[in-house]
Structure 1
Amino acid sequence: MSDRKQLDTGGADIESSTPLLTKPPRNVAVDAYRGLVMLLMMAEVLRLSAVARAYPNSLFWHILAFNQTHVEWTWFGLHDLIQPSFTFLVGVALPYSIRSRQRKGETFAHSLAHTIIRSFILIALGIFLRSIGKPITYFTFEDTLTQIGLGYTFAFLLAWCKPRWQWIAFAAILFGYWLAWALYPLPPANFDYASVGVTPEWHSHLLHGFAAHWNKNANLGQAFDVWFLNLFPRTSPFLFNRGGYLTLSFIPTLGTMLLGLFAGRWLIASAPQIPFRRLLIAATALTAGGVLLHVLGINPIVKRIWTPAWTLFSGGLCFYILAAFLWLVDKHKQHRLAFPLVVVGMNSIAAYLIAHLWEDFVESSLRTHLGDRVLNIFGTGLQPLLLGGLTLLIYWYALYWMYRRNIFLRI
């Protein structure tokens, strides 16, 4: 599954004492973090895996390629942090967005209606993009936009609760989801994994013992999708997702969004100070909690099915990254250094659409007008990198053009 993927990020908290008539400045660090996430997603055009295959003895290219692909099952690479970071930042932006709407005198009912519409649009947009090139509408709900859309309204409602109830909801979501999977029967000993798309070559990634409840396409989420996705029109019955991705992952993904919500509230409550201590304590506790669940065999860290351990582990890493951006951009005022990322981060929906819709046109145009003589100037092995780099530059310049003209796509 590709992670190709505005929410207002300037404002004050629901409970802030900042006067409603005073518009607080944008949180540039959050914009920069979002920009990095989107840039990593758009950078798939660099095709580092193809470059690594051209240089099989180069550790350098293989490390880069590993971090531009999703791991097969347990643990993670850099690319696996794109979706949780994007989801986390949606949560960070939520209290700012609510505060902004309060400043305009918007009622709760109107905000809720807008949130429901936004959720629906995110889901519909995700399905639309996944259907490109398909003979009919391709109804799946495991991509980034639909996963966020499925959980966004619930996050909005929880944003109005007291922090204690938000934490209770967070714990209940993860524990309840873990328990449901743990109670779901394991496949029989002679289970034919090939029938659910698990090839013999993949068997080295299969989990054993209690952790086997979270094996690829032999779990509660798979059973749900076989029922749920076949309710929609399809060219053939749904049997399995080749990557192991699931609709029900939106439930623990909601947990990631809530972690972002906690971070957003802390940032607003402490402004203009930065709550580094609180952010780093949360980061360490969450990361350690996820690792502990994994090593004890209670729950494995698997991004593809968004296990509760992954929610904790990746959420902790998101807190670390957010703290780093706050330290660099806000504390040390490195706004010029962050500017290229801010250009992308302030137009994240546009960046997501560009990455999905422009790639073939831009690359084919570059091939037509530059030709192999130019694209192979550094050798055929590096052609994918040069072509992808030029494509990425065009993407960024388009977003810069929109930035200069105050054109920002928002849902």
Structure 2
Amino acid sequence: MMNRVSNRLESLDILRGFDLFCLVFFQPVLASLARELDNDTLNTLMVQFRHVHWEGFVFWDLIMPLFMFMAGVSMPFAFRKYLKDDSRKSLYKRIFKRVLLLWIFGMICQGNLLALDFSRIFFYSNTLQAIAMGYLISAILLIHLDIRGQLIVTAVLLLGYWGILTFVGVDGYGKGDFTPDRNFAEYIDRIILGRFRDGVNVTEGGLDFGNYRYTWLLSSLNFGVTVMTGVFAGHILGSSKITKVNKAVWLLSFGILQIAVGLLWGMQMPIIKKIWTSSMTLYSSGICFILMALFYYVVDYCGKGKYFAWLKIYGMNSILAYILFSIVDFSSLIHSLFFGLEQFLGNGYQPFVKLCSVSLIFAVLYFFDRNRVYLKV
């Protein structure tokens, strides 16, 4: 739904804009340049902009956790009015509406819903759906528990996921096996999602799961944890008892602590984004805390937000930016308009097309921003 917005935490909108700018503009253009120019410097830089195959973590692996983290940061601010007025019924309507919309948008973006082909529809396979699950878990905790209770349940979810993957085993899956084909989260997705899992092909011999190894169902426990770490950051940022500079210090300190614990935990349970291990959850959330501290200090404490205001064009319409990038092929339009330039640009033609394509997304977002209209769910 398109809504006008009220006062918001400026650093959060700018950080969200930074995340979406990397996703829908910077990385696509950089990747196109690297493919066409085969430059050593670009190829080295691209290591940070390609997901690791399994174990490990690079900058590009942060995009999804950061998106989810920021959804959590905004929740204490968004829920404050409802909780103060004790209007939980209307709040739950808002929550379920948002979860449903995010789920449908996720199926549109990556679940092949628009293909109208039942055999190619995938039920749970997208960042927006991970946000929906994390948001639902976090919303329930935020409504019914105080901060201490939220911390306890979040720790239980984090440790519970670790315990299940470490100690539970069925049919050769699990019991501390964190390999792509034999971890317990993989088993749960295959058994429950089955035909509706992303990457699946139906053959005469049964289901072929191919090389797709992202997990979603059991990993939802830690999706909730990732969003909850954002909620805790939101509690810090929304506190009237902590000075602005100390808010940045607290965020930075907790971020460093989470990174340290995540790295230590990774010695037993590897940092693996595709199955959202508990070590990865802490490690990525620690980086999110540090980025939130940096952006909050620069934008809200030092008042330098005007230098980054253009990022808010992405941040204020992040869902729309994600959907446009995922489902609209702007490159076809650019090819149609400028195909004659290929003979002159040579290897630079494809990067030119990509640059123009992602610039069109920015133009659409700019138009909506100028009219103060934003896609809200």
Is TM > 0.5 for Structure 1 vs Structure 2?
A: yes
The amino acid of 1:396's aligned partner reads: F
Equivalence map 1:72-111=2 (5 Å): 72-101=53-82, 105=85, 107-111=87-91
Task: Answer whether contact 2:106 2:129 (CA < 8 A) is retained.
Answer: yes
The amino acid of 1:90's aligned partner reads: A
> Closer, same or farther in 2 for the Cα pair 1:293/1:144, shift >3 Å?
same
2:235 is the counterpart of 1:265: yes
Identity %: 25
Distance 1:7 1:221 in 2: 38
Offset, 1:133: 4.1
Which residue of structure 1 aligns with residue 101 of structure 2?
121
Offset, 1:44: 6.9
| Partner-residue secondary structure (3-state), 1:398 | helix
**Which whole-Å deviations, capped at 9, do the CAs of 1:91-120 have from their partners, x for residues lacking one?**
0010111124457x5711110122022112
| Partner-residue secondary structure (3-state), 1:81 | helix
Offset, 1:123: 1.4
Offset, 1:250: 1.7
Which residue of structure 2 aligns with residue 140 of structure 1?
123
List gaps (5 residues or longer) in structure 2. none
> Closer, same or farther in 2 for the Cα pair 1:74/1:186, shift >3 Å?
farther
Distance 1:129 1:108 in 2: 31
Offset, 1:385: 2.3
| Partner-residue secondary structure (3-state), 1:214 | coil
Which residue of structure 1 aligns with residue 149 of structure 2?
165
Task: Answer whether contact 2:134 2:225 (CA < 8 A) is retained.
Answer: no
Instruction: Please give the TM-score of this superposition, normalised by the length of structure 1.
Output: 0.81
2:314 is the counterpart of 1:348: no
Offset, 1:353: 1.4
2:30 is the counterpart of 1:64: no
Task: Answer whether contact 1:170 1:258 (CA < 8 A) is retained.
Answer: yes
Offset, 1:372: 4.4
2:151 is the counterpart of 1:180: no
Which residue of structure 2 aligns with residue 321 of structure 1?
291
Task: Answer whether contact 2:314 2:362 (CA < 8 A) is retained.
Answer: yes
2:188 is the counterpart of 1:224: yes
Task: Answer whether contact 1:229 1:238 (CA < 8 A) is retained.
Answer: no
Instruction: Please give the TM-score of this superposition, normalised by the length of structure 2.
Output: 0.88
Which residue of structure 1 aligns with residue 222 of structure 2?
252
Distance 1:225 1:7 in 2: 36
Pairs aligned (count):
364
2:350 is the counterpart of 1:384: yes
Which structure's residues are more often helix, by fraction? Answer: 2
| Partner-residue secondary structure (3-state), 1:67 | helix
2:258 is the counterpart of 1:290: no
Task: Answer whether contact 1:9 1:27 (CA < 8 A) is retained.
Answer: no
The amino acid of 1:387's aligned partner reads: V
> Closer, same or farther in 2 for the Cα pair 1:238/1:380, shift >3 Å?
farther
Which residue of structure 2 aligns with residue 204 of structure 1?
none
Which residue of structure 2 aligns with residue 41 of structure 1?
23
Which residue of structure 1 aligns with residue 209 of structure 2?
240
2:5 is the counterpart of 1:28: no
**Which whole-Å deviations, capped at 9, do the CAs of 1:152-175 have from their partners, x for residues lacking one?**
222111113111111111111011
Task: Answer whether contact 2:134 2:226 (CA < 8 A) is retained.
Answer: no
| Partner-residue secondary structure (3-state), 2:239 | helix
Which residue of structure 2 aligns with residue 19 of structure 1?
none
Which residue of structure 1 aligns with residue 309 of structure 2?
339
> Closer, same or farther in 2 for the Cα pair 1:312/1:9, shift >3 Å?
farther
Equivalence map 1:356-367=2 (5 Å): 356-358=326-328, 360=329, 362-367=330-335
The amino acid of 1:225's aligned partner reads: D
Distance 1:146 1:123 in 2: 5
Distance 1:365 1:100 in 2: 45
Offset, 1:216: 0.6
> Closer, same or farther in 2 for the Cα pair 1:156/1:7, shift >3 Å?
farther
Distance 1:401 1:93 in 2: 24
**Which whole-Å deviations, capped at 9, do the CAs of 1:281-304 have from their partners, x for residues lacking one?**
11011000111111x3x1100111
> Closer, same or farther in 2 for the Cα pair 1:365/1:9, shift >3 Å?
closer
| Partner-residue secondary structure (3-state), 1:213 | coil
Which residue of structure 2 aligns with residue 151 of structure 1?
134
> RMSD of the alignment, in Å?
2.7
